[in-house]
A and B are shown apart, each in its own frame.
Chain A
């Protein structure tokens, strides 16, 4: 900036130095987008950040709220000795964590496997499969959640299909109440071995770590959360498959040919050529998957509203709840904590997966 201004003055006219011209061009190019982003993203963000230090209830103009300093943040981490907000926050952390842990690896692995299958030389109807896999991605989350609400009804299509398959195999299937089953799936699994809340050892049930016992921490996602996870995987796998497929097709064939000539086996080719060449795509897929999962909201809003028994409360959901239920200051603070969590994970992942991306 300081460079551009004097050069305008010196020359008197509109002739700028090359550097000055470059600066002006740079600003002009970026200006339209900058204005939009500053007004509609940075400004709201800044005001939300300021709001997170107030007791704003969301019902009066925000200027009328009082400053409470770090109190909202203290409540989130229980630093002021209270536990209600902290406990809810860590329940949401647990739920969001299980959700992400279930969705991101599954959708990435599925997408990768499907991409390999679709990429096979002999395959016909490739176009059809690509279109079919991508179709769910074009649909509004509100529509998808509405349709899933219907499909996962206890008397709905999902139970009908599972029941049909089960009876064809001569098995018995008691319909699952997908939309109202608070039991964690790890708990359900442990029950097969006779381990329940009653039979679990005391060190598991009587500890209290951030409001929950070890037994509660290891519950796994609830059955209802599992249904929402299936929805997410169903929606996004197709997009990610396309991204992997494009990356696969982008690998120069000569690389494989050269490797074959050098006597590399298929397996070696896979690990030495395919895997490294897919790194950028994998990094991209993991990053958008992770950010999307941590922010999951629309599906919760339409399908479960945090129920049953709070097992589908995610961080974004409790942000919304607090904004709506007269605790907007606290909601804003929660949102910034979520922001920090996402940033940490993205950076961590960049370290882990992305190392070789820029080589």
Chain B
């Protein structure tokens, strides 16, 4: 025990002493080196996928490593092409432009509603004392651990009972609230000082008015976080739309459309088509991400603090 106590500070001071000279330069180089390497690892798969999506099919197979068209065995060069995109957008039974609309429509409606429902519920669990609150909360946390796959068929049967299969309702309503979001909001509301509400109560404000006028505006960071997760999750969801839609391909969202493309080509995956489809599926989300990146980053950062 005494030895370790003696050793620790000496290591600390030694490395500290080295810092200003050689250490500082090395540290800067190492820092940027590691970060650039990781940034490349995160971005390059997309760069390869996007570049290859504009190449001819045989070129993709022969030269996946090239970011520009390669050369055939006989010496003639391959050229850039939009063939993958044309084929994806013109696939007979899939209306890709409509799928883009569907993805946006569903993601936006679900996001708005989920933010509203989750924050109401989160507030009730955090602040309002009512019977059954404890049970409701425990049950909610429990649902986080349920493997989503098991809900697939029972949920379909319920949607069928409601007569919602092949309608937008089935893509929207089941996702208006989720346990994770409620949990997040509850954590947030618990962190707001009670005095604020007590002050409002004296003014005779009703719970609802207080919530919408005073509490909710304070919750913007938490709401942003949840909105981001809701939008992202809905945009990328595959299993949900898969069970909600049977025959109505007009309501396909992008992930479903992509899965369908894969089915069209069978085992011999036609990579120009699939890469183009992947780019189409990712692009709108990527654009939104770059425009609102600050909110994304803040939103995600926020969740950890309140975990």
Contacts and interface: CB of A to CB of B under 8 A. Distances in A.
Is this pair of chains taken from one and the same complex?
yes
Interface of A: 1-3, 21-23, 25-30, 32-34, 36-37, 39-45, 47-48, 51, 58, 62, 114, 117-118, 120, 122-123, 127-143, 146-151, 153, 155-157, 160-161, 164, 234, 238-239, 242-247, 250, 265-268, 280-281, 283-285, 287, 291, 294-295, 297-298, 315-316, 319-320, 323, 328, 331-332, 335-336, 338-339, 342-343, 346
A53 B271 CA distance: 44
Contacts of B286: 135, 138
Contacts of B278: 143, 146-147
Interface of B: 8-9, 11-13, 16, 28, 31, 34-35, 38-39, 41-43, 45-46, 48-49, 52, 61, 64-65, 116-118, 120-121, 123-125, 128-133, 136, 139-140, 142-155, 157-158, 173-174, 176-179, 182, 207-208, 211, 232, 235-236, 238-239, 254-255, 258-259, 262, 269, 271, 274-275, 277-278, 281-282, 285-286, 289-290, 293, 296-297, 300-305, 307
Nearest to A263: B9
A135 B43 contact: yes
B154 A29 contact: no
A195 B158 CA distance: 54
- A-B pairs, top 7 by smallest CB distance, nearest first, are A284-B307, A243-B304, A26-B130, A246-B301, A335-B150, A44-B154, A140-B236
A123 B31 contact: yes
25 contacts: A28-B208, A32-B116, A33-B182, A36-B173, A42-B139, A45-B150, A47-B154, A114-B34, A132-B43, A133-B42, A140-B254, A142-B238, A142-B259, A147-B45, A147-B49, A239-B300, A245-B301, A265-B16, A294-B147, A295-B147, A297-B147, A339-B145, A342-B147, A343-B142, A343-B145
B133 A26 contact: yes
Contacts of A147: 45-46, 49, 275, 278
A335 B28 contact: no
B154 A48 contact: yes
A283 to B, nearest CB: 6
Contacts of A28: 208
A90 B289 CA distance: 41
Which of B16, B207, B232, B262 counts the most A-chain CB atoms under 10 A from its CB? B207
